Amino acid sequence: MAADKNHPEYQYLNLMQDILDHGVGKVSHSTGIGLRSVFGRQIRFDLSKGFPLLTTKKVFARGVIHELLWFVSGKCDNIKYLVDNDVHIWDDWPYENYQEAVKKGEAPELTIKEFIQKIKDDNQFAKEWGDVGPIYGVQWRKWKCSDGREVDQFAWMIDKIKQRPQKKHFVISAWNPEFTYEMAASRETSMSIVPCHTLFHVNINVEEQKLSLQLYQRSADVFLGVPFNIASYALLTMMLAQVTGYKPGDFVHTFGDVHIYENHVDQVKEQLKRQPWPFPTMKINQGVKNIDDFKYEDFTIESYDPYPAIKASVAVIGGFGKDKVTGGVSKGE
């Protein structure tokens, strides 16, 4: 089959080639691993032309859906929901905190496999040790104010879209300095990782009756993280469109520092040899009209036929100088 050079996935592939060709060399302070990065890039997907689940390598779609539901719930300060659903993309962060307690003699030594099994089996253990701090969805749904209130940014946005769709201030932020680990009062009150996808902005085209969403991502691991982020925020765009009564428009992905780690270069080159296939279709249960009512079973992906996954190690960063690199399961698989 001849390559369709207009296929929207080429935006992603061309971004990786751009970094290989023009990226500036850096060394990650958190991991000590070299990388090449460019600054200030943008890609865009028209959601009427298919769901942007990349086809040049298999993306962990089940993980995308479960993680997004976890974020949207606002209860994503603990990994138990993900563990119970066999999604392990956040395991390393609470396990790293647990290892710190082991070093201090405050907890018995466990392998990560034993630790995760105990999270699954023991609710009290999960409550004590499954914490990842007030990350993304906590800020989206339970932003703490100086006067003691909690602001639900989603509820505010959805209500305002329904009332005054032409407003320009539908901005949702996960960047809260009080809880980022370099500014937080303590390890215990900090997010496990400073938000990489820091804020998103929703816009309504009242003439075409479409809802579009633009993400600003301050830091982007283009090989492992970005395919996951594209699918996640495209799906969020579709969910928000449905509950506000609009059609999905565009998902716009704007990057700050977007990079390739030196230990991913061979995998990137392998992926760049592949030609994209047609995007799949995402079907959503049209009966869901409230953002809090979505369940995993409400989503069906049809006609997804990707190339095989490409394995790579994931950088576990964040948290008071305790950063490291593991060989854990990545979001790209």
- Single-letter amino acid code for the residue at 101: A
The three-state secondary structure class of 207 is coil
315 annotated as a binding-site residue: yes
**Cβ 319 vs Cβ 192: under 8 Å:** yes
* Phi, psi of 236, rounded to the nearest 5 degrees: -60, -40
259 annotated as a binding-site residue: yes
Question: Catalytic: 196?
Answer: yes
Q: How many CB atoms lie within 10 A of CB 331?
A: 21
Secondary structure in 3-state letters for 98-124: HHHHHHCCCCCCCCHHHHHHHHHHCHH
**Cβ 223 vs Cβ 267: under 8 Å:** yes
Please compute Rg for the chain using Cα positions: 20
123 annotated as a binding-site residue: no
Report d(CA 220, CA 277) in Å as an integer.
24
43 annotated as a binding-site residue: no
261 annotated as a binding-site residue: yes
12 annotated as a binding-site residue: no
Which one-letter DSSP state was computed for residue 306? Answer: P
**Angle ∠(258,259,260) on CA atoms, nearest 5:** 150
The three-state secondary structure class of 127 is helix
What does the CA dihedral 157, 161, 163, 168 come to, rounded to 10 degrees? 90
Nearest to 168 by CA among 208, 105, 214: 214
Report d(CA 211, CA 10) in Å as an integer.
24
260 annotated as a binding-site residue: yes
**Cβ 51 vs Cβ 280: under 8 Å:** yes
Out of 196, 235, 236, 291, the active site residue is: 196
Helical (H) or strand (E) element with 237 = helix 225-244
218 annotated as a binding-site residue: yes
**Cβ 71 vs Cβ 141: under 8 Å:** no
147 annotated as a binding-site residue: no
* Phi, psi of 293, rounded to the nearest 5 degrees: -100, -5
**Residue numbers belonging to the annotated binding site:** 218-221, 229, 259-261, 315
As annotated, the active-site residues are: 196
**Residue numbers belonging to the annotated binding site for dUMP:** 218-221, 229, 259-261
